[in-house]
Each structure stands twice: as structure tokens, then as C-alpha cells.
Chain A
Amino acid sequence: MTATMPTDGVGITALDSAAGLPDGWEMVIGLEVHAELATKTKLFSGARNEFGGEPNRHIDPTTLGLPGSLPVLNEKAVEHAIRVGLALNCAIQPSVFSRKNYFYPDMPKDFQISQYDLPIDGEGWLDLPNGKRVGIERAHLEEDTGKSTHVGGSGRISGAEYSLVDYNRAGVPLLEIVGRPDLRSAEDAATYVSELREILVAIGASDGKLEEGSMRVDANVSVRRTGDPFGLRCEIKNVNSLRSMRRAIDYEAARQIDLIESGGRVRQETRHWDEASGRTLSGRSKEQAEDYRYFPEPDLLPVVPDPEWIERIRATLPLLPAQRRARLAGAAGVPATEASVVIAVERHLDDLAVGAIEAGADPLRTLTHVEHNLAVEGADKLTARAFAALVTMEVGGQLTATQTKAVLAELIDGGGDGDPRAIASAKGYEAMDSGSLEGAIDTVIAANVDQWERFVADPAVRGKLSGFFIGQVMKATKGKADGKAVTAYLQQRAGG
């Protein structure tokens, strides 16, 4: 299942398997995800919300926090926040913006406008494909910061000679989604992020690109001996892909366990993931004391979404991944946690699968094809009608598995809505009648008496030897034989 997670540009298939934790230890992970919302303009002004471009082009007095400038809230950002809240089963509640005061050159006003004690989205949850439920503590709106480029030294912040600040990103609307510490493995954490990303993209709230920073993850990691209360946590920042997040979490949990087992103590702190060394590093000591002095933003008014608005937004929500899994699982008569179901939804082939099943195709055969034979370009164009017809031919014994695959590939090449019967007969695929198949098998047995005697004598080697016989029969029939039918006849002739 992990091999097919969305990878955000970095293959997690290559992930070195996480070193398991020592016996009796458990890791506890809570994720904070910042998602940039897909608006045309910024959270508090009409400057463009766009990734990249020339520096300091998407600026206006409010973006730059010029003296005298004022914020006015973007309605679309609020709508997105409500949409995400509904998708995450959150209570949508009256909210208030506050000022989080701290000095940093990326932050034009030297305070960030963020929702503090009254976030727009309250308590909710997200169900992972594997059936685990992760609590959502809250999700709140806030403005993004600008970006510094560090010049001199290594080009990183430490050791740089000076820095250059671009405020294009300042004021971009963010939704900070705070998950409960319900995750117990790096793999589940990655699944959570993938699932959340799927949801955000599905509802159009964010483009969810980790590598471009439009979705950013901070991981709170702690460890404990099973059954103990939660340990002190470290917040890991700077994970820019699912792969680095998994590595960072596994590294950090191992570090904390080592520390505790060697008599040390975990210090609650922010640590930064260093991709190059594969380690988390303690944040450098701050130049200033930390006390954010939150207070309600006097330039903005409370947001009290009326129920009618919330319902209008709810009505526009598409089916979410969990609902789509449930729908396919229901149609196929399998559990929603079934890998093939999860994969079908991930690849957005669930509509096709449900359609084919509804058109009479065998559910399990349909899911098998979706899982194994449809990870190809153009698969999304395949029509349910054509797909169902093909599966039905296969299950009816008119095509062998190999032939079915070939027809499927040609169907997709031809745009997805061809007639599988026509393709099959054009290829000369005609299923052998059972009489000629049995004749062909008898001929092969006669030519391989040694193997046949072993097949009959020892049921333990039959699996292996049936492969041999199928291969021979296929050769003799130029691939027209159905492997399953060959096996069945071999078993029958061997007497069991």
C-alpha cells in the first residue's frame, strides 16, 4: 500500500524501511499542517496570491504592513476554511482574529494575524484508509509570511552574510490544521498527510503541493513506554516531502528513545530536519524572548457564519475519498480498507470500477484489474461499459488472463470506449473449446512423463509443476489456453 501513496515528487517507494522501535516503546505523533488556500488574492488585501514570480511584485500597503494600512478579510478564504472544516467533520464556529506578536523580518507588521482562542473550525476527525481515526483539534485561518534568501556563507540562514526579503508570499491565506496526537507510526503520519492532501485538492481548497510549500507539515513527536502517559514532545520543522517527514519522524523517535535509555531527558523544543545529514537539529537559540502577547485584532471583526451559508457550502462538496472508498467497497462487497479499494480511489478509478460493477462485471476481477493493470496513462478514459464487457468476457472464459490484458491495453490505446469483442476477434483470440484444450494438455503430458509422474505422486510440488505445464500448453496453443482451465484439468486428471 505504501508503494502507491502519492509521492509529491519524491518517491517514497525507495524509502528505507523504518527501523522498528525497541520493544516496549511507542511513538506519538501529532501533525500541524499549514495549507495555502486557493484564492486569487491574499487573506487581507487584493494583492495576487501566486507562487513564484519576480520578488516583491504581489505587494500593496497591507501586504507590506505599511503604516496606515488595514486588513479586510477575503470572503473566499473563509469559504475555503468552512469547506475544509466540513470535510474534516469539524464544528464550524464563530471565530475571532488575534495578533501574534513577534519580531521577524519576514513578517511585515512584526505580528501575524491568526485565529487564536476562537478558530473557525473546531473539533473534527479524519478517517485514514486503513480504518484508523485521527482527531482534528482545530483549523484556523492565518496569514503567511514573506521569504528570505540568505546570501553568503552556505546560502543557509546560519553563516549567511546578509539576507534579502521578498514579501510576495506575505499575506497569502493559510489554514493551519492541527491534528490530535493520535498517530503511532511514521507510515500512518504519511498516510494522514496524503489523505488530507487528497481532501484539500478534491474540495478545491488548496493545491496541496508539499514541494512548493503550499502544504507544510510540522510534526510533534514524542515517545513513551507503552502504557505510560505522553512524553515531552519536539516539534520537527522543515519537512518538505512525505519521504523526509517519515525519515524525520523515525529519526526523532529513535533519538528520543536513545536519549532516555541512556539516562537523559527530552527537552521540549523545535528541531529542524536536515535532509543532507538525515538528522533533526536543535533550533538555534533565539535572539529574543518568546512571548507572543496575543490579543484580539482590533482592525478585524468576528466571523459568524450563518447556518444557511454553511449549508450552501456543504451542498457544493464533492464525494470525499473516504466516501468514495465506502461506495466502491459497498458495490464490490469488500471492506473499505481493502488495498485494491484504497488504490482505486487514490488513482481516481473508483467511478470506473463502480460503473463496471454496476454494469454487471465481476467485482473482484474488476478490482484486480484496477489494482494491477490500470496504472497506465489513459486509464481514466476507459468507459465502464467497455471495461465491464471485457471483464465479463474474461470471467466467462472467452478470453484468457493474458488475452484480457492485451485487449485492455488496446482498448485504452484506442481511447477507452472501443468494443472488446471486436478487438479480441481482430487479434484472433478465440477461446479454445474444452475438448481441444484437453487434447492439447494430454499431448503435453505424454511428452513429459517424468514431470507428470511427480505431479501425480506429490501434491506439494504441484504448484511449481503446474507452472511448467501451463507454459508448455501455452506454447502448444500459441497462448490461446486459459491458465486457470489448464490447472483445473491437471488437478482433475491427477485425481485430486
Chain B
Amino acid sequence: MLVMADRITRDEVAHVARLALLDLAEDELDRYTEQLAAVLDHAGDVEALDLADVPPMAHPMPLRNVFRADELTPALDRDEVLSQAPAAEDGRFRVPAILGEEP
């Protein structure tokens, strides 16, 4: 049987903020720690259920093998797309220096 984790800590909230690429101020960290703990605590009520033999449900509809044919569809207009970009150059999206290779 699965067991809910211990109460979320402020350090964990800070770690999660790093994973989610969000900067949280000190007071926000306190507040989110409190609020997340309350929601997770409420979620703890499912401990009352015996879920050992219950399969997880990922989709409401039991569809399988949904495919598309390997056929071209129209591309978007590059200029229209790049006109919405914060920065573009030479037909590409421009970003500041990237630190580190792709994981």
C-alpha cells in the first residue's frame, strides 16, 4: 500500500520552485509552504481507500492506436510566427546565452 509523504518542507518548496523555474520571495516561500501543506493534507483523505488492486486511470476514454497518416499538412508562415517572438534574427528565435548542454 502506498503511503502519502511527510509534510512538505520549506526546503522542498524552494527546490520545487527551482524545478519549475520560478523565483519565490521569502514570504512567498512561507505562504506556499503553508498552502501546499494544507492542500496535500486534505489530499491525505484518500489514505482511507484501499487502492492496492485498483489500476491507475490515465484517460477517460479507452481509445487505443490513434494514428495519423504520414501526410504533409500546411506549414505555418514563418514571418507570422516570428512576429510573435520576443526576439528573432535570421529567421530564427533569438535567446540569450545558453548555459550548459541539453540534458
Contact = CB atoms under 8 A, between A and B. Distances in A.
Interface of A: 39-41, 45-48, 54-61, 64, 72-78, 96, 102-107, 145, 148-150, 157, 160-167, 237, 270, 272, 283-291, 293, 296, 298, 300-305
Given A164-B92, A302-B64, A75 B70 contact: yes
B99 A284 contact: yes
Among B74, B82, B103, the one with the most A-chain Cβ atoms within 10 Å of its Cβ is: B103
B25 interface: no
B36 to A, nearest CB: 16
Contacts of B97: 160-163
28 contacts: A40-B71, A46-B72, A47-B73, A54-B91, A55-B90, A56-B78, A56-B81, A56-B92, A57-B78, A58-B75, A61-B76, A74-B70, A75-B70, A77-B70, A78-B67, A102-B103, A106-B102, A162-B96, A164-B92, A166-B92, A237-B101, A286-B100, A288-B18, A289-B18, A289-B19, A301-B65, A301-B66, A304-B65
Given A40-B71, A64-B76, A301-B59, A157 B98 contact: yes
A47 B72 CA distance: 6
B46 interface: no
B19 A48 contact: no
Given A301-B64, A303-B65, A47 B102 contact: no
Nearest to A101: B19
Interface residues of B, number: 38
Contacts of B92: 55-56, 149, 164-166
Contacts of B64: 301-304
Contacts of B103: 102, 104, 270, 286, 290
Contacts of A298: 58-59
A285 B100 contact: yes
A464 B91 CA distance: 70
Contacts of A145: 102
Contact of B81 (A39, A64, A105, A284): A64
A72 B67 contact: yes
B89 interface: yes
B52 interface: no
Given A40-B72, A74-B68, A285-B100, A59 B81 contact: yes
A164 B94 contact: yes
Given A41-B72, A75-B70, A164-B90, A103 B65 contact: no
B34 to A, nearest CB: 23
Nearest to B82: A56
B31 interface: no
B95 interface: yes
A76 B15 CA distance: 41
A350 B75 CA distance: 44
A163 B68 contact: no
Nearest to A300: B66
B65 A41 contact: no
B94 A163 contact: yes
B91 A165 contact: no
Interface string B29-63: 00000000000000000000000000000110001
B59 A160 contact: no
Contacts of B5: none
Given A78-B67, A290-B103, A160 B19 contact: no
Contact of B67 (A58, A74, A104): A74
A148 B76 contact: no
A296 B58 contact: yes
A285 B101 CA distance: 9
Contact of B19 (A56, A288, A304): A288
Contacts of B18: 288-289
Among A59, A96, A285, the one with the most B-chain Cβ atoms within 10 Å of its Cβ is: A59
Contacts of A105: 93, 95, 98
A45 B73 contact: yes
B100 A287 contact: yes
B70 A60 contact: no
B85 to A, nearest CB: 9
Contact of A104 (B70, B74, B102): B102
B2 interface: no
Contacts of B101: 157, 237, 270, 272, 283-284
B83 to A, nearest CB: 12
